[in-house]
Amino acid sequence: MSNALRFSGVMPANLLPFTADLEIDEPAYRRHLRWLADTRGVTGLVVNGHAAEVSSLTREERTRALAIALDEVGGRCPLVAGVYSDSTREAVDLARDAKAGGAAGVLVFPPTVFMWGAQVKPDMALRHFSEIAASVDLPIVVFQYPLASGIGYTPDTLARIVQIPQVAAVKEWSNDIVGFERSLRAVRETGRPVAILSAFTMSLMASFLLGADGAISGMGSVTADLQVELFEACAKGDVEGARAINDRVEPLVRAFYAPPFVDMHNRMKEALVLLGRIPAAHVRPPLTPVPAAERETIRRALAFAGLSR
């Protein structure tokens, strides 16, 4: 695997194992990272994302999580660091930390303050990204949320954001295939070479067939190998082959993204435990462990997908 950053193909967002006292479990984290980096077709990893419970991590822990990842797999796999903050000033600081730490790019989350009406004030988003871009010379991935969340960008605003020269990709998580296509078309129509990376894991095959350049996905921490196969089948136009892979993972998609949606990454940790890739599925409050019945559903879905220890 090349360690040159290219925004295409499958880029899993790693989960972050914790010990029983809810500290970073470094040995388990390193094993998890190695499995991801060793998976054929994985083109990069995203650290400090939703899948890593980034909202619970201190600034120092984010720096450490990136440092561990770079030490373990940085020579084989480019790493993109999440920049999660409600403050533009802090986002700049976090992006600077990522650059100083050796990240190849940054994934910029929308500030949650945007939910209070920023969709009718696109200059807020433009200022946020422009200040990060002016302060840190790294490729930027824009994290596009569902419009209904209040912090997603309209197609017009997204088209303006991707005009910023440092913006190299959009992690498209409209969670709606119509919204996904509108974002894709808005970006393509700018003429800028900005990649569309699907985070619409509940309908990954459809987003690949629409023309996504790849995926950034927390579920990729469990099924990176199958996501690579799915992406390659879609890229070749092998719809029947893609459908067969999609059918294998559908029960897992249903299990991971069942209500309540907030438990999706908790469930993925349980899957890694069942697969023997991490020792425990501890999550930080306010998240809570999943019940035993859900673990059994996940176990059956893993078996159906052909995944085992």
**132-178: per-residue pLDDT in tens?**
999 999 999 999 999 999 999 999 999 999 999 999 999 999 999 99
Which residue is listed with tokens 């996940």? 298
CATH architecture of the domain covering 9-236: Alpha-Beta Barrel (3.20)
Check: CB of residue 125 under 8 Å from CB of residue 155: no
Q: How far apart are CA 146 and CA 119, in angstroms?
A: 12
Q: Residues, the chain, total? A: 309
- For the stretch 91-121, pLDDT in tens is 999 999 999 999 999 999 999 999 999 999 9
Helices (runs of H) and strands (runs of E) counted in the chain: 11, 8
Q: Pick from 292, 249, 251, 248: which is nearest to 270 by CA?
A: 292
Give the tokens for residue 199: 């985070």
Mean pLDDT for 58-63 is 98
Work out the pLDDT band at 1, boundaries 50, 70, 90.
very low
Alpha-carbon dihedral angle through residues 252, 199, 81, 225, given to the nearest 10 degrees: 50
H or E element that contains 172: strand 167-172
Instruction: Convert the pLDDT of each residue in 174-198 to its tens digit.
Output: 999 999 999 999 999 999 999 999 9
H or E segment at 130?
helix 122-135
Please, which pLDDT band fits residue 5 given cuts at 50, 70 and 90?
confident
pTM: 0.96
Distance CA 158, CA 204 (A): 21
